[in-house]
Structure 1
Amino acid sequence: MRTREDQLLQTMATLADSLVDDFDVVDLLQLLVEDSAHLFDAVAAGILLLSPSGHLEVIASTSDRSEFVELMQLRAGQGPCVEAVETGRVVSVEDLSDVADRWPKFAADARESGFASLHAIPMRLRDSIIGSLNLFRDRIGKLNEPDAMAAKTLADIATISILQQRLVEESLLTQGQLQRALDSRVVIEQAKGYVAQRHELDMDAAFQLIRNHARSTQTRLSDIASDITAGRLVL
């Protein structure tokens, strides 16, 4: 059985591979949130990404529960995940009850969804901030220093992976890649709905079915989703 350290190193290696190879941004970030939730004892994790137009959008999430809270805080324009992107600093809320006055809507949405604490880590490289990695917990308490450093390292590697195209070509290419990732997410959500309805599954189970097929056929997740929505593939 792999140790936690082994799992962390494996995740880092997988993220690092994307620095020298073609990669699927959505699948990479989905791997990041799933492994982060497991490694750092979070009940859910999600990533907000800045679109080329400057709007924050949910790009990856371990469950509809975390995605719901993130969408709520986006509508409210407030919350630790938003602040982490705006300031470029880690925003850690050890007890969501403590921020009821500062972020009333966010705190209410989070508590209603069963979360007790949240830790938002900016995805940044020097002056470039592209989003945040957000860890949701169902108990109060801080993220210990080793975990905080490890989570930041994973977020940094993922950020470098996405921004590396700026070192190869122009920043426009990177912006196009980010937009394609956001567009892919829309198609993936549609495909999840088709599969969920066909098999009477919840959205998380439908996504897992799609992802398993993509991996077993060594096909991009976004391509599988496009085939499902276009009727070219029935799972």
Structure 2
Amino acid sequence: MLQPTVDPADALAELGRIRLDETSLDEMLRRIAELANRSVPGTRDVSVTLVRGQTSQTVVSTGELARDLDEWQYELHRGPCLDASASGDSISVPDMAAEQRWPAWAARARSAGVGSSLSIGLPIQESVVGALNVYGDVAHAFDPPAIAVAEGFAAYAAVALANAHLYDSAATLAEQMQEAMRGRAVIEQAKGIIMGERRCSPEEAFTLLSKISQDTNRKVRDVAAALVAKAVESA
């Protein structure tokens, strides 16, 4: 059985010192996978699976073996990493030769020289889930203490992914709000132009913009932007 080259406590402490706001998600996940590979007793390869809707992908792996075995599960639409992703549970395959839940995948893993595996669910949020996958050379490679260590690394991966999702969501919301504010500003400019030309109220100016929008099948914002651009050209 492969012995760890890094003390798990030291590895987890190293991860704890990394600032998520100063490290890319890919780099953070790569460090988690590498340190797990070097710290969890019995580990040959580690990967991280992400599932968005119907799409599954391996975002990081410490070797082609883990990536290949992950992708074989994606092709079959069945396997421990997918089940762990869906449930958030830790799913152990202690002996590939005796595995009955996913026999086709287990046979492929066994032919690749993998005797056991462990997939730990990473509940991130409703539309994105994942798993930390650990592969071992021999059967029964992961005893309870090793599983506990792997779950510690999975917790860091879950936090990193959840923070990244929150950041992306916040950035998207901010962009949408900025776009809405830009749209509102150009509509107010267009209303001002119409009010000056027609000596009408703000409500009447917006009614005219709305009618042009309906007649031309364009957004009010686009109608307003065209009117403002025309006014600028004529100035």
**Percent of paired sites with the same residue:** 22
The 1:5/1:69 distance shift into structure 2, 3 A limit, reads: closer
Q: Which runs of 5+ in 2 are unaligned?
A: 174-235
Task: Report what 1:83 is aligned to.
Answer: 83
Per the normalisation by structure 1, the TM-score is 0.63
Give the alignment of 1:1-235 within 5 angstroms.
Answer: 7-40=7-40, 41-51=42-52, 53-99=53-99, 101-124=100-123, 130-141=129-140, 143-165=142-164, 170=169
The 1:91/1:108 distance shift into structure 2, 3 A limit, reads: same
| Superimposed CA distance per residue, residues 21-62 of structure 1 (whole angstroms, 9 cap, x where no aligned partner) | 3212112212222221221121111111123x4422011111
Tell me if the contact between 2:47 and 2:58 (Cα under 8 Å) persists in the aligned partners.
yes
The 1:167/1:131 distance shift into structure 2, 3 A limit, reads: closer
RMSD (Å) for aligned C-alpha atoms: 2.9
Per the normalisation by structure 2, the TM-score is 0.63
The 1:140/1:171 distance shift into structure 2, 3 A limit, reads: farther
Q: Which runs of 5+ in 1 are unaligned?
A: 175-235
The 1:173/1:161 distance shift into structure 2, 3 A limit, reads: farther
The 1:6/1:66 distance shift into structure 2, 3 A limit, reads: closer
The 1:171/1:86 distance shift into structure 2, 3 A limit, reads: farther
Amino acid paired to 2:137: D
2:43 is paired with a residue whose SS is coil
Tell me if the contact between 1:130 and 1:159 (Cα under 8 Å) persists in the aligned partners.
no
The 1:113/1:168 distance shift into structure 2, 3 A limit, reads: closer
Deviation, structure 1 residue 126: 8.6
Tell me if the contact between 1:123 and 1:132 (Cα under 8 Å) persists in the aligned partners.
yes
Tell me if the contact between 2:86 and 2:129 (Cα under 8 Å) persists in the aligned partners.
no
Tell me if the contact between 1:166 and 1:173 (Cα under 8 Å) persists in the aligned partners.
no
2:7 is paired with a residue whose SS is helix
Deviation, structure 1 residue 83: 0.9
Tell me if the contact between 1:122 and 1:129 (Cα under 8 Å) persists in the aligned partners.
no
Tell me if the contact between 2:84 and 2:91 (Cα under 8 Å) persists in the aligned partners.
yes
When Rg is computed on C-alpha atoms for both structures, the one with the higher figure is 2
CA distance in 1, matches of 2:25, 2:164: 12
Amino acid paired to 1:148: I
Amino acid paired to 1:12: L
Deviation, structure 1 residue 9: 2.9
